[in-house]
Amino acid sequence: MKSLDGAATVVDHGGSLGRARALFPHAPQPFVDLSTGINPHSYPFFDLPATALSRLPEAARVRELAEVAASVYGAPSAANVVATPGTQILLPRVASLASPGKALVLGPTYAEHHRAAAIAGHAVTEVDVFEVLAGADLAIIVNPNNPDGRIIERKKLLDLAGKLRAKGGLLVVDEAFMDVGPHAESLAGDVEQGGIVVLRSFGKFFGLAGLRLGFALADALTVEQLEAQFGPWAVAGPALEYGIRALADSGWRAEMRCRLAEDAARLDALFGRFGVSVAGGTTLFRYIGLADAAGLFSALGERGILLRHFSGRPHVLRAGLPGPDEEWQRLESALADWAQQRDDNTKEVKQ
């Protein structure tokens, strides 16, 4: 853990097997990693042309990517899209579009927004009432929210954006999980109004988080400002090639949305069988509220099943989707063990 000059501390994240091994050194491996919201069913791998590795990415290919992204995400045009190596790297640059001032993040949510706004020089506060955001110079909302799946309606967002714009403020909507809907609440089509930046993530829905590909959608002038910060060749050849092919694959996207919805329902049912109720989420991750969430996290972790816990919030967990059948079976048997032990303990107390 490193501390930053006048900024937030580096935060814990899901998705690290190194951290998992340190936490649960005696767990059976490989881990079943449900600590992220990354789709376990990756877009099918394909052979890349050698030039994707050897040559500098071509500007024409970057334009193609921006065009398909604009079309799929619903942005007015490719001029409203900047592609970058992941959305993560965008956060401080987007936060820097607003002069240092008062940043409000609708929480609880993805912790990196707080950190990024702080290193961009803002005084950052997490708030839990939507209406308060109107008092910000920079307002940040994750929609649908991570980890609880909370959805803010587009109408309310546009109203907020209008208020912020009127005083030179900026609304950032992180739509990292909007690929699984509800699309009607996306602001992608509204960015040309100005004062709005929408973030979209490629790696989560397509299960290709290692490629590093993300997008900011904004008015064309803001897109130019962001492009200037990243320079030419920001997106690597492999990310360009996968991005263009996968985004354009509307059949895969539609089927995957169905499959994820089925998997999410199956996961809810599985948790439910053991008395764990799912309180929200998206179809890429489920949000669990449980008095003994910490106990469940540890019990599953010791059996090699990683959920996401949140420091300072001992009663909630997030669970991504298992992939292959074996992962479902391991989760089921770990839950059964945990429930058995819980029930035994309850009996002991009663005796």
Smallest separation (angstroms) from its own copies to the CB of 313: 20
How far apart, in Å, are the Cα atoms of 114 and each of 17, 63, 103, 124?
Answer: 24, 31, 8, 6
Smallest separation (angstroms) from its own copies to the CB of 86: 6
Nearer to its own copies, 19 or 102 (CB): 19
Q: Is 212 in the site for its own copies (CB under 8 A)?
A: yes
Give the x/- contact pattern for its own copies in 26-65, rule: CB under 8 A: -------x--x-x---x--x----xxxxxxxxxxx-----
Q: Which of 210, 272, 275, 324 binds its own copies (CB under 8 A)?
A: 210
- What residues from 270 to 329 belong to the interface with its own copies (CB under 8 A)? none
Cα 217 to Cα 12: distance, rounded to the nearest angstrom: 27
Q: Is 239 in the site for its own copies (CB under 8 A)?
A: yes
Q: Are 117 and 102 in contact, with CB atoms under 8 Å apart?
A: no
Q: Are 269 and 300 in contact, with CB atoms under 8 Å apart?
A: no
User: β-pairing, 196-201 with 170-174?
Assistant: parallel
Q: Which range, of 108-116, 158-166, 169-177, 293-301, touches its own copies by CB under 8 A?
A: 108-116
Q: Are 199 and 87 in contact, with CB atoms under 8 Å apart?
A: yes
Cα 276 to Cα 9: distance, rounded to the nearest angstrom: 32
Spell out the residues 6+ positions from residue 193 whose beta carbon is closer than 8 angstroms to its own: 161, 165, 219
φ, ψ (nearest 5 deg) of residue 234 = -70, -35
Cα 46 to Cα 346: distance, rounded to the nearest angstrom: 52
Q: Is 230 in the site for its own copies (CB under 8 A)?
A: yes
Q: Is 1 in the site for its own copies (CB under 8 A)?
A: no
Smallest separation (angstroms) from its own copies to the CB of 240: 8
Q: Are 119 and 96 in contact, with CB atoms under 8 Å apart?
A: no
Instruction: Take residue 81 and report the two structure tokens written for it.
Output: 């899209």
Q: Is 6 in the site for its own copies (CB under 8 A)?
A: no
Smallest separation (angstroms) from its own copies to the CB of 50: 7
List interacting residues with its own copies (CB under 8 A).
Answer: 2, 4-5, 7, 10, 13, 15-19, 33, 36, 38, 42, 45, 50-60, 85-86, 88-89, 91-92, 112, 115-116, 119, 203, 207-212, 224-225, 227-239, 242
